[in-house]
Amino acid sequence: MKPGIKTGDGPLLLAQPHGGTVIPDSILARLNHHGEARADTDWHIGRLYANLLSDTTIVSTSIHRYVIDANRDPTDESLYPGQNTTSLCPTTTFDGDEIYLEGQAPSRDEINQRQQLYHQPYHDALREQLERIHQRFGYAILYDCHSIRSLVPYLFEGQLPDLNIGTNNGSSCGAVIESAVRSACTRAPEYRTVVNGRFKGGWTTRHYGEPGRGFHAIQMELAQCNYMVEAPPWHYVDDKADKLRVILGDILKTLAKILE
């Protein structure tokens, strides 16, 4: 399945790997009620970032992360060794519940097939767009858009901070970029911000971030309580979202000009 691509004229690319809800019928039939619920979606992420900056490039996938996680290493190496997490083709939810009917989890051959059908095309698109931007500007900035429920005890203790910046401990982007995003967040003190806390950036951030070559990558993990209802049917809350969008717009406008 082809990823969604919206090309822009600026240096900024928004990656959205987890907003999709599509699960092919052949896979959906093998899921239990936890899998069918799709609770671990980055709900409304496209809507939240829509039209914040007119000249951004956006690459997204409509495939749900339970089919394959487009932000995981294709070799399935853990991003957070020793901590609870989910795999390339998840078999559990963020709460640790099984998502497949008994005996229906994908085999290694099926995982490889999903990687070729869904994961690789998404990353081919990311690479193509980053190279295009880099050729034009001499640099490119990948901003990886994510969100998650604010309370997920299986993955982290307590309530997640509101704005979680990930730069793989400063290695995936220039220091000026990390600092600028942090500053934009702290201009809104009502939101709690952390840098390289529980979320240091997924495979996308770590794989494409080569600041020495002019490829900068940074992840933003948002606590969903700041823009939506964190329970089915996962409603978008306009007044909360509009307030958050001001901050996100400030971040994107800052990034679009920071290396000029």
Per-residue confidence (pLDDT) for residue 79, from 0 to 100: 83
Measured CA to CA in angstroms, residue 179 lies from 60, 147, 176, 218, 251 at distances of 26, 21, 5, 11, 11
Taking residue 182's Cβ as centre, other Cβ atoms within 10 Å add up to: 17
Over 90: is that where the pLDDT of 218 sits?
Answer: yes
Token couple for 211 = 């600041």
Q: How would residue 194 be classed by pLDDT, with cut points 50, 70 and 90?
A: very high
CB 99 within 8 A of CB 144: no
Mean pLDDT for all residues in the chain: 97
- The predicted structure's pLDDT at residue 22: 98
State which fold the 4-257 domain adopts: Aminopeptidase (3.40.630)
pTM score, whole prediction: 0.96
Q: Note the pLDDT tens digit of each residue in 18-29.
A: 999 999 999 999
Residue 117 has pLDDT above 90, yes or no: yes
